[in-house]
């Protein structure tokens, strides 16, 4: 009897030991990643919110607690809303230019033509270049004297434009470059979504005598609608990440007309040393991204539960 | 009618090709022009003379230094990412535990974070660690921001590896470490190459952290270096184009060699996030 009990407790002990072992394993395997993530992402985000409550130049050892003052000042400043508006332009550009353009590229890659492999590489090239390189290249594409863009304008009998001299033309010029660089990204997404459409759908449509246009509107478009919706919201997050292209093409982003949240925040922090104020901008950028993600997840959740 | 349709399709393709590739060809062709040729023929893609001088002067002006820095930090970051992301993905994909899902989602959420939300604290932290102005300052941020997509891809991939493989190893008394290193890791080559290539492209092109954390030229990476060239070359457009071409070359080569892997990474990052 006693012996049996011993065996039992021993088994229990062994089980407990195994469980502790597993726990230890989990911890050891996860530790390096969690630590890195904690130190370089989670803590900085938290700290951004903390710093945003202070007035601080980033150098002096003392900082003054000002509560939500930075936020109230920020929300009343027209420069902030200008930058915010420009971010929204980038979002609109993604939805109404890049996504359709990416869709057309994906459709081309899906049509029955020769040389698709090469086309795929050619279409994708802009996305591979570093944004700094893209920006510098396009500065010369837009050059008032020797730039190909103005050359094209002249060919059609139009006047040369000082594209990057500031104002609306600069904004338009930069938005075109963003479209050039990021349309391939959407092309890839749509291509992936189109691969998932079962071939039979097209076959049966063909038997019913559907035209190419009908096939697109009744089969392709509905199937990739979820991708279109989620990439539209993804564009909000993408626009918040936009920085280098504006920074490079406007020489640091000093003009209001071409300021976006990223360059506005950068200048406040690393040129003017308003760390608290700048952190408030960063915090708002984070909150906007968070809200967009929650919306995506909700839409996704509802679609899955249908 | 059919001919017309086909014609308009090819017309469309032609316009798309010109729109996407002309700037690219302009960059490459201009880099082979000398100043005189550039000023007489700035737009033409056909060369009447050919010179590699621009490439020589770019190299003389310190391109190699930026190039080597970029190479070091990209390779090192990618190696560390592969190591710690694959380690983390093992329990996340193979072991059932309480906070499994929560930790996984927390990592995924990282893909959506605008870097600006971390810039100031990372800048301060870097100064406090005494790493400001050193190439190593970039290591932490680069690894951390590559983790979400990498953990996502690894975890998904590991879930697809049949359980029988490790059960057989367990029968032989293998522990978690042996299962991970001897059974799973060798089977993850496709996922590893996707992650290596995708993150390499991202880190090679990264600009914001490189801009705020490093000041001296000897430690700067390519994207910031290109920015310097822009200031120095002023009117020497062919020179700058040579620098841009050189800087873009490695990533383009990587892509041409391994298209599918890059694409897989992209889709993974965008679809789930």
**In this structure, are A141 and A190 located in the same domain?**
yes
**In this structure, are B113 and B174 located in the same domain?**
yes
CATH number at residue A182: 1.10.3720.10
Q: How far is CA A108 from CA A13, A93, A191, B6, B14, in A?
A: 65, 21, 10, 12, 11
**In this structure, are B39 and B136 located in the same domain?**
no
**In this structure, are A28 and A106 located in the same domain?**
no
Domains in chain A: how many in total?
2
Mean pLDDT of A246-263: 82
Q: How far apart are CA A267 and CA B119, in angstroms?
A: 12
**In this structure, are A44 and A91 located in the same domain?**
no
CB contact under 8 A, A23 and B87: no
A270 touches chain B (CB under 8 A): yes
**In this structure, are B136 and B22 located in the same domain?**
no
pLDDT at A10: 74
Q: Dump pLDDT digits (tens) for A141-154.
A: 998 888 889 888 88
**In this structure, are B41 and B97 located in the same domain?**
no
Half-sphere exposure of A172 (CA within 13 A, CB side): 8
CB contact under 8 A, A121 and B123: no
Decide if A83 contacts A260 (C-beta within 8 A): yes
CATH number at residue B149: 1.10.3720.10
**In this structure, are A200 and A263 located in the same domain?**
yes
DSSP structural state of residue A94: I
Which site among A25, A27, A41 would you substitute to test the B interface, given the most B Cβ atoms closer than 10 Å to its Cβ? A41
**In this structure, are B130 and B7 located in the same domain?**
no
**In this structure, are A100 and A241 located in the same domain?**
yes
Query: Residue A209 CB: number of other CB atoms within 10 A?
Result: 7
**In this structure, are B190 and B169 located in the same domain?**
yes
**In this structure, are A46 and A125 located in the same domain?**
no
Q: How far apart are CA B143 and CA B87, in angstroms?
A: 14
pLDDT at A137: 94
**In this structure, are A31 and A145 located in the same domain?**
no
Indicate the pLDDT class of residue A2, thresholds 50, 70 and 90: low
| Domain-embedded: residue A266 | yes
Q: How far is CA A290 from CA A50, A115, B7, B148, B271, in A?
A: 18, 42, 46, 16, 16
Task: Pick the closest to residue B74 from B250, B215, B231 (CA basis).
Answer: B250
Q: Dump pLDDT digits (tens) for B136-166.
A: 999 999 999 999 989 998 998 888 888 887 8
pLDDT in 10s for each residue of chain B, 273 residues? 677 777 888 888 889 899 999 999 999 999 998 888 888 877 778 887 888 888 998 888 889 999 999 999 999 999 999 999 999 999 999 888 888 899 999 998 888 899 999 999 999 999 999 999 999 999 999 999 999 989 998 998 888 888 887 888 888 888 888 888 888 888 888 889 888 888 998 899 999 999 999 999 999 999 999 999 998 887 788 999 999 999 998 888 888 887 777 777 767 666 543
ipTM of the prediction: 0.89
Which site among B113, B226, B266 would you substitute to test the A interface, given the most A Cβ atoms closer than 10 Å to its Cβ? B113
Task: Count Cβ atoms within 10 A of the Cβ of residue A169 and give its class: 0-12 exposed, 13-18 middle, 19 or more buried.
Answer: middle
Mean pLDDT rounded to a whole number for chain A = 87
| Domain-embedded: residue A86 | yes
Q: How far apart are CA B19 and CA A105, in angstroms?
A: 12
Which of the listed residues B51, B76, B93 is the one where a domain comes to its end?
A: B51
Which of the listed residues B32, B51, B70 is the one where a domain comes to its end?
A: B51
CB contact under 8 A, B87 and A30: yes
| Domain-embedded: residue A60 | no
* Three-class secondary structure assignment of B105-161: HHHHHHHHCCCHHHHHHHHHHHHHCCCCCCHHHHHHHHHHHHHHHHHHHHHHHHHHC
Q: Which residues of A touch B272 (CB under 8 A)?
A: none
| Domain-embedded: residue A25 | yes
Q: Which residues of A touch B95 (CB under 8 A)?
A: 22, 25-26
pLDDT at B272: 43
**In this structure, are A35 and A140 located in the same domain?**
no
CA nearest to B126 within chain A: A40
Give the domain range for residue B31.
1-51
| Domain-embedded: residue A143 | yes
| Domain-embedded: residue A73 | no
Domains in chain B: how many in total?
2
**In this structure, are A212 and A254 located in the same domain?**
yes
**In this structure, are A26 and A97 located in the same domain?**
no
**In this structure, are A110 and A17 located in the same domain?**
no
Mean pLDDT of A238-263: 84
A30 touches chain B (CB under 8 A): yes
Pairs from B46-54 (Cβ < 8 Å, separation ≥ 24): B54/B236, B54/B238, B54/B239, B54/B241, B54/B242
**In this structure, are B141 and B212 located in the same domain?**
yes
Whether the pLDDT of residue A306 is over 80: the answer is no
Give the domain range for residue A248.
78-304
**In this structure, are B59 and B37 located in the same domain?**
no
- Kindly give the residue spans of alpha helices, DSSP state H, lying in chain A: 2-37, 43-51, 69-76, 78-93, 99-110, 116-128, 131-141, 148-155, 167-195, 199-207, 212-215, 221-241, 244-249, 261-270, 275-304
Q: Any idea which of A6-15, A169-178, B42-51 has the lowest mean pLDDT? A: A6-15
CA nearest to B114 within chain A: A241
**In this structure, are B103 and B197 located in the same domain?**
yes
**In this structure, are B78 and B204 located in the same domain?**
yes
CB contact under 8 A, B255 and A124: yes
Share of chain A above pLDDT 70, in %: 96
**In this structure, are B31 and B130 located in the same domain?**
no
């Amino acid at each position: 009897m006693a012996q049996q009990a011993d065996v039992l407790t021993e088994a229990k002990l062994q089980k407990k030991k195994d469980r502790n072992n597993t726990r230890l394993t989990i911890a050891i395997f996860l530790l390096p990643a969690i630590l890195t993530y904690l130190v370089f992402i989670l803590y900085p985000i938290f700290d951004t919110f903390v710093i945003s409550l202070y007035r601080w130049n980033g150098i002096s050892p003392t900082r003054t607690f000002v509560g939500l003052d930075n936020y109230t000042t920020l929300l009343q400043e027209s420069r902030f809303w200008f930058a915010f508006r420009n971010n929204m332009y980038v979002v609109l550009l993604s939805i109404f230019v890049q996504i359709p353009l990416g869709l057309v590229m994906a459709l081309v890659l899906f049509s029955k033509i020769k040389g698709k492999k090469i086309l795929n590489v050619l279409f994708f090239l802009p996305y591979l270049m570093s944004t700094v390189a893209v920006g510098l290249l396009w500065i010369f594409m837009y050059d008032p004297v020797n730039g190909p863009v103005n050359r094209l304008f002249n060919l059609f009998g139009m006047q040369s434009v000082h594209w990057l001299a500031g104002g609306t033309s600069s904004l338009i010029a930069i938005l075109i470059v963003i479209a050039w660089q990021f349309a391939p990204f959407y092309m890839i997404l749509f291509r992936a979504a189109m691969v998932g459409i079962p071939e039979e759908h097209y076959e049966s449509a063909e038997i019913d005598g559907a035209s190419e246009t009908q096939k697109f509107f009744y089969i392709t478009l509905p199937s990739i609608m979820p991708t279109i919706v989620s990439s539209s919201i993804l564009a909000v997050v993408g626009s918040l990440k936009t920085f280098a292209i504006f920074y490079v093409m406007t020489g640091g982003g000093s003009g209001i007309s071409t300021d976006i949240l990223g360059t506005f925040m950068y200048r406040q922090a690393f040129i003017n040393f308003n760390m608290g104020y700048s952190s408030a901008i960063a915090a708002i950028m984070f909150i906007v991204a968070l809200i967009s993600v929650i919306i995506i997840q909700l839409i996704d959740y509802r679609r899955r539960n249908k | 009618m059919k001919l017309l349709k086909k014609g308009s399709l090819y017309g469309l393709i032609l316009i798309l090709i010109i729109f996407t590739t002309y700037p690219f060809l302009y960059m490459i062709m201009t880099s082979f022009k000398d100043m005189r040729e550039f000023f007489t023929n700035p737009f033409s893609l056909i060369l009447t003379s050919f010179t590699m001088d621009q490439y020589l002067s770019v190299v003389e002006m310190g391109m190699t230094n930026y190039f080597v820095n970029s190479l070091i930090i990209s390779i090192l970051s990618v190696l560390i990412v592969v190591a710690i992301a694959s380690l983390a993905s093992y329990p996340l994909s193979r072991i059932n535990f309480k906070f499994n899902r929560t930790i996984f989602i927390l990592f995924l959420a990282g893909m959506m974070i605008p870097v600006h939300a971390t810039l100031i604290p990372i800048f301060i932290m870097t100064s406090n660690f005494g790493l400001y102005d050193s190439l190593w300052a970039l290591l932490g941020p680069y690894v951390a921001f590559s983790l979400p997509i990498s953990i996502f891809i690894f975890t998904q991939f590991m879930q697809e590896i049949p359980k029988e493989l490790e059960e057989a190893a367990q029968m032989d008394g293998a522990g978690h470490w042996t299962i991970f290193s001897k059974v799973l890791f060798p089977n993850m080559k496709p996922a590893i190459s996707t992650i290596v290539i995708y993150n390499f492209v991202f880190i090679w092109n990264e600009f914001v952290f490189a801009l705020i954390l490093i000041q001296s030229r000897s430690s700067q990476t390519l994207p910031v270096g290109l920015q310097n060239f822009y200031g120095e070359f002023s009117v020497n457009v062919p020179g700058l184009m040579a620098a841009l071409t050189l800087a873009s070359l490695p990533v383009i080569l990587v892509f041409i060699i391994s298209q599918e892997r890059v694409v897989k990474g992209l889709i993974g990052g965008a679809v789930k996030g």
